[in-house]
A and B are shown apart, each in its own frame.
Chain A
Amino acid sequence: MDYTDTELMVVKAAEQLQDGDSVLVGIGVPNLAANLAKRTHAPDLRMIYESGTIDSNPSSLPLSIGDPVLASGAASLESLHGGFNYYLQAGRIDAGFLGGAQIDKHGNINSTVIGDYDDPDVRLPGSGGACEIASNVERTIITTPHQRQRFPEEVDFITSPGFIDGEGARERHGLREGGPVAVITDMAVMGFEDCEMVVESLHPGVEREDVQEKTGWDIAFADDVTETEPPTEAELRLIREELDPDGVYL
């Protein structure tokens, strides 16, 4: 069965979630991934959105983080400050999804500016809640298209800290343990070893050289790089028929 790059990313991102996790979800691929996980292997996943909706059960695809489908039927609605304060800062959230314009080999993310901060080439939206998600959850999962300009050796601006400059840096900065555990692109699934990104599996048809060409540093490959398992028919049916029937994100 044919599938799109996005569908494969959704399925791989869903696999990163465990039953019983509390997860900070975003719109787009993360939302589809979390909802897929909840309908498959993680029925007791608690989905929390930046807008303060706690344990959302959206009946249809949310188009923004404040979509009423995230509020109706949630277990609780927190103020914006309350969600970040009581849930994120206090360490009540296990996993969170992040994306960004640039990601470096230590999993630091830039969503602030390309170029100089005071005279930017491109002014990006900014952190939103990304910095505190990266700082306070146990595991962050990054989803992004795999393009060379998105994977520079060093980001222009650290909006959301990953492992900063390597081993021991999170601890030195007083951050919670944790940090990124997976970077899922349209080419590969990557993890982290010694706080540095490592390719763990290549999507069907993708070669090592393809990934290297689209990455701005000499990227490491795990000893046992595998081929990414494609989505199952059941997963594709759930995504296409129930989660995103109009194909908004696919």
Chain B
Amino acid sequence: MSKTTTMKQAVSAAVDDGDSIYLAGFTHLIPFAAGHEIIRQGYTGLEVARATPDLIYDQLIAAGCVSKVTFSWAGNPGVGSLHAFRRAAEDGVPNEIELEEYTHFGMTTRVYAGAVDLPFVPLKTFAGSDLPAHNDNIRPVESPFSDEEVYAVPPLKPDVAVVRGQRADEDGNVHLWGIPGEHKEAALAADTVVLSVEEIVDESVIRSDPNRTLVTADDVDHVVEEPYGSHPSYAQGYYDRDNDAYLNWDDVSRTHEDTQAWLDEWVYGVENRAEYIRKLSSDRLLDLQAGNAYSTAVNMGEN
């Protein structure tokens, strides 16, 4: 059954004020288009989670959409600090945010526990660090089989996850290649899943290479074809990271006023991602185009 829709409709149907939201992706295939649509629709009190709340979360925080951030590393990857995140954490601008902090393994284990519906998952990390003292969701547990003690974390089950892939069929069977991040765990842990892809393709394309499938249609609620939906982050095989945009964010986000002006121009000032892309110069997009390096075809055999 086709679930294709627009980002505007998908976000409107999936998100409510106060929801917990997981915009998946570890530096690669970050759902910027979905994040901008959430800002445009003006949600508040969102409890956002991701291992790496990068620029899109900084923008959501600056826009006043966020009341809580659950995370393990809050920075501008390869560049420096997240200034809106720091303003909110240090000075309560534009509003106070609650922080719930993990490590990457702790955070992704929570999402994994959510995906497989376990009440907790033990892990070997946190011992000797000060993190457990500041987070009640990191607790010591004794092995039922030995006297070993490890820490455990509870499942994270967001109300809404937005995940990206390169291509999907209309039902939501989706292919992802390159760095997988935690898109799969987030999709399987969430109640409602918005899938955003560079291209909608025929079902036969997906079924020709099922090893590449991230999640299947069963776990996807809305399918959005959104070319350049991850700009300025990258989409392997489609476009590279727009590093100038990451460097530029470090400048514009240093004051709340400049940040608002940027949001006015690039988020509130455009109707949708297509208009945002038209606003970027074509030269800039051409510079980001990926060259061709095809993987060797795989023979799936035929009976």
Contacts and interface: CB of A to CB of B under 8 A. Distances in A.
B287 interface: no
B104 interface: yes
Contact of A71 (B89, B123, B178): B178
A5 to B, nearest CB: 20
A164 B129 CA distance: 8
Interface string B138-158: 000000000011100000000
A84 interface: yes
Contacts of B180: 52, 77-80, 82
A3 to B, nearest CB: 24
Interface in A134-166: 135-136, 157-161, 164
A89 B124 contact: yes
Nearest to A155: B130
Give the interface size bracket for B toward A: 35 or more
B227 interface: no
A57 to B, nearest CB: 13
B148 A129 contact: no
Interface in B179-215: 179-182, 184-185
* B contacts with A: majority SS: loop
Interface stretch (A169-177, A195-203, A220-228): A169-177
Interface of B: 26-28, 51-52, 71-75, 77-78, 81-82, 85-86, 89-90, 101-105, 108-109, 111-112, 123-131, 134, 148-150, 177-182, 184-185, 233-234, 236, 240-241, 243, 246, 290, 293
14 contacts: A51-B26, A71-B178, A72-B293, A80-B108, A84-B105, A89-B105, A125-B82, A131-B126, A132-B103, A135-B126, A159-B129, A159-B130, A161-B129, A175-B127
Nearest first, the 7 A-B pairs at minimum CB distance are A66-B27, A161-B128, A128-B73, A64-B78, A81-B108, A125-B75, A84-B105
